């Protein structure tokens, strides 16, 4: 009898997990269908200067792809500032005394947004170092409205609540939009509300609730050795609430008038 009870419990658990997985699939399909085009791939050309005490200075140039979220119909995008300055993470990682004399600097020399099969020249129009946010925009104002996520709603979730991360896959998967479920690890209330996702989950992605509302955008937060107080290099993904991001956009300058 006991074995039969255990077996029945196992069947019920399997059914519950199947139902939950089916529900996640339905939610993610709705999110991708409604907002997939609001997540874009940004190609950036980076000039890197690396200096090491024993080896001197070397310069190189390479192209890297990052994710940004479109947050207005005129093409304003937001991503993690750290994504646009990879040197910050490298300098933090090599900040201990054993790596004295190491320094790297990166400059973004070109930005191109992949939109409707075209590469559109873009520029950085605003940086917020406190929240690790960078705002990008096409150099020329788009003639047609862009699909965008609505960050104006004051959405709240609790610790361990399930959320959904929308992103784009890489070139090998034709940069198609995709989504996956995750859970909030912690909620920070002061000095400002932030949602902690724990380990790195990418950056520049819109985060959605079960109802389909956009909670905010995830960014990467780092602490180097001297800041963390130990020998660990701390990296975490956090979600900046949508209304806080929209408040910052008030500082974005208008498009230049066409001559």
pLDDT digits (tens, 9 = 90+) for 224-246: 544 444 545 567 899 999 999 99
Predicted local confidence at residue 107, as pLDDT: 85
Q: Where exactly are the structural domains of the chain? A: 31-251
pLDDT-derived band at 129 (thresholds 50, 70, 90) equals confident
In this predicted structure, the answer to whether residue 18 has a pLDDT above a threshold of 80 is no
Predicted local confidence at residue 228, as pLDDT: 45
Predicted local confidence at residue 20, as pLDDT: 58
Q: What mean pLDDT do residues 129-139 have?
A: 93
Q: What mean pLDDT do residues 144-170 have?
A: 95
pLDDT-derived band at 93 (thresholds 50, 70, 90) equals low
Which pTM value belongs to this model? 0.83
CATH of domain 31-251: 2.40.10.120
Among 44-58, 129-143, 184-198, 206-220, whose mean pLDDT is lowest? 44-58
Predicted local confidence at residue 117, as pLDDT: 85
In this predicted structure, the answer to whether residue 7 has a pLDDT above a threshold of 60 is no
* DSSP per-residue string spanning the chain: -HHHHHHHHHHHHHHHHHHHHHHHHHHHHHHHHHHGGGEEEEEEEEEEEEEETTTEEEEEEEEEEEEEEE-STT--EEEEHHHH-HHHHHHHHT-SGGGTT-EEEEEEEEEEEEETTEEEEEEEEEEETTTTEEEEEESS--SSPPP-----S-----TT-EEEEEEE--GGGTT-EEEEEEE--EEE-SSS-EEEEES---SS-EEE-TTS-EEEEEEEEEE-HHHHTSS--EEEEEEEEHHHHHHHGGGSPPPPPP-
């Amino acid at each position: 009898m006991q074995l039969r009870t255990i077996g029945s419990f196992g069947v019920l658990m399997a059914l519950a997990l199947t139902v939950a997985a089916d529900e996640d699939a339905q939610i993610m399909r709705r999110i991708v269908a409604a907002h997939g085009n609001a997540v874009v791939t940004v190609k950036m050309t980076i000039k890197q200067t690396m200096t090491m005490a024993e080896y001197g200075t070397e310069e190189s140039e390479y192209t890297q792809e990052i994710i940004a979220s479109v947050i207005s119909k005129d093409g304003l995008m937001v991503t993690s500032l750290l994504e646009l300055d990879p040197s910050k993470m490298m300098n933090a990682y090599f900040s201990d005394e054993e790596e004295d004399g190491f320094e790297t600097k990166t400059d973004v020399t070109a930005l191109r947004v992949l939109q409707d099969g075209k590469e559109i020249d873009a520029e950085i129009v605003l940086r917020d170092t406190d929240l690790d946010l960078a705002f990008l925009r096409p150099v020329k104002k788009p003639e047609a409205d862009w699909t965008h996520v609505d960050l104006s709603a004051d959405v709240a979730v609790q610790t361990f609540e399930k959320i959904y991360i929308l992103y784009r896959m890489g070139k090998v998967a034709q940069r198609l939009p995709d989504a996956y479920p995750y859970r909030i690890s912690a909620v920070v209330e002061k000095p400002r509300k932030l949602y902690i996702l724990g380990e790195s989950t990418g950056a520049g992605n819109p985060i959605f609730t079960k109802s389909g509302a956009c909670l905010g955008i995830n960014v990467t937060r780092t602490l180097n050795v001297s800041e963390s107080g130990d020998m660990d290099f701390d990296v975490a993904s956090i979600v900046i609430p949508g209304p806080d991001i929209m408040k910052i956009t008030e500082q974005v300058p208008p498009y230049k008038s066409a001559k």
